Amino acid sequence: MDRTQVPTQTRKWLALGLIALAQFMVIMDTSIIGVALPEMREDLGFSQGNLTWVFNAYVVMFGGMLLLGGRLSDLYGARRMFSLGWLILLVGSAAAGLAGDVPTELVGRAVQGVGAALIAPAALTLLMMLFGSTPRELTRALAVYGAAAPAGGTAGVFLGGLLTEYASWPWVFYINIPIAVIALVAAPALLPGGRGGATGGVDLLGALTVTLGIGAAVFGIVRAPEVGWADAQTWGTLLAAAVLIAGFVVIQARRREPLVRLAIFRTPNLGAANLAQFLLGAAWIPMWFFLNLYLQQVLGYSAFPSGAALIPMTALIMIGMIVLAPRLIARFGPKPMVVSGLVLLAAGLAWLSLVRPDGNFWVDVLPASLVSALGMALAFIPSLGTAISSARPEEGGLASGIVNTSYQLGSALGLAAATAVGAALGANELGDSGALTDGFSAAFLVAAAVALAGAALAGLTLRGSRASAPDVESVTV
């Protein structure tokens, strides 16, 4: 047995730091490019319409390949796929930074998405390998992992502005390279090795259909606000996605060694927890997106003050996930925390819908954003932990891929729906603070309705009791 398979306590928590770093970087890569986009448009020749694909190319490949990434982790070993993902992310980052034209830039971003799709499920699988046998440590480890996501999102806003202003836009990609090198060096020393526990090979036809199907679904959803929901291209893409995903289900039902064992969805709580993650992403990402727009386009904040305005919300999420949520889960159990967290998120979003054209940060943003952040902190960890721990150990990578896919699809669909409603009510009327505020308010209400629906569905579908909650009172990091 590899000595890293029986890690000391110190090595375990250092390994958790590396796993959290992976989550931090995967999320940061979605937000760090925002401030750099105008310079990229000028230097590379993007049009205003296709500039969004610097973001979308990453998201489509990331969302489309997560299930395959999870299966590969189960088959060939989580550490091996974790390292391969960092290597691919490094290559994609170098290509995106060195790009001299639009196609090369988009290919580089797509390659980054492939790397992230290998890293994300492998990271969660490694977390379960390290902490899954000790429930009181597992909840704390998931909390640290979960808190890395909002930290990465906020850090991306700051770093994107800093690097673009004082260096140049390619550095928003080059910053990944030294971090990837550190991860590649540290992984063999800190993370458990060995092959995965799953048997069989890769279902190539299943992998192709599900990757194309999810990719087409994400593509159609993120492009719909740009070309219109009624456009034939939108419906054609979504219809193709539905056909591909239906074909994938048929293939999986007939294969002796499928990419996804369909019976996994009959596992108690797995489907319910993934539904909660789907709706949590569908409510949270629109809130974060439109809050940024309100700060910049209505209140007139530039990139740095806008990023600073997100710090209280980010800090509360991190404190809530690491300190508060584990203790409340231990006392009340996962289900009450998921339901109450989604209710709090809905309340915060409803409060944000009251923003005013002549508002200010202290009255219109801070209180409501803190309520939303607390709701996110309480709901995210128990739903994520339930989704991962419900699966068999040898299917940890698959379960990680499923939950990551659920959250990403929810994020894309929720943002597209909120954008469509917001745009119809004025969110695209640049320069008209009244119309913009009306549109943003409508988007916040859409997200609030999604969160409230999530709370109701979680209450109806999740099982569990206080007895099943882990004991984390004595855990320290």
pLDDT digits (tens, 9 = 90+) for 363-397: 999 999 999 999 999 999 899 889 888 877 777 77
Residues of the chain with pLDDT under 70: 1-7, 35, 48-52, 194-201, 303-304, 464-477
Structure confidence at residue 48 (pLDDT): 54
Per-residue buried b or exposed e for 242-266, using 16+ beta carbons within 10 Å of the residue's own CB: eebbebbbebbeebeebbbbeebee
* 230 phi and psi angles, rounded to 5 deg: -85, -5
Q: Which residues contact 20 (CB under 8 A, 6 or more apart)?
A: 144, 145, 147, 148
Structure confidence at residue 193 (pLDDT): 79
Helix 78-98 crosses helix 176-190 at what angle (to 10 degrees)? 170
Structure confidence at residue 391 (pLDDT): 77
Instruction: Return d(Cα 183, Cα 90) in angstroms, integer.
Output: 11
Given a contact cutoff of 8 angstroms between Cβ atoms, the answer to whether 334 and 386 are in contact is yes
Q: What is the largest CA-CA distance in the chain?
A: 65
Structure confidence at residue 86 (pLDDT): 97
Structure confidence at residue 470 (pLDDT): 41
- Write the CA distances from 321 to 146, 158, 376, integer angstroms: 7, 22, 9
Structure confidence at residue 262 (pLDDT): 83
Instruction: Return d(Cα 407, Cα 16) in angstroms, integer.
Output: 21
Q: What value does the CA radius of gyration of the chain take, rounded to a whole number of Å? A: 21
Given a contact cutoff of 8 angstroms between Cβ atoms, the answer to whether 82 and 117 are in contact is no
Given a contact cutoff of 8 angstroms between Cβ atoms, the answer to whether 62 and 117 are in contact is yes
Structure confidence at residue 383 (pLDDT): 93
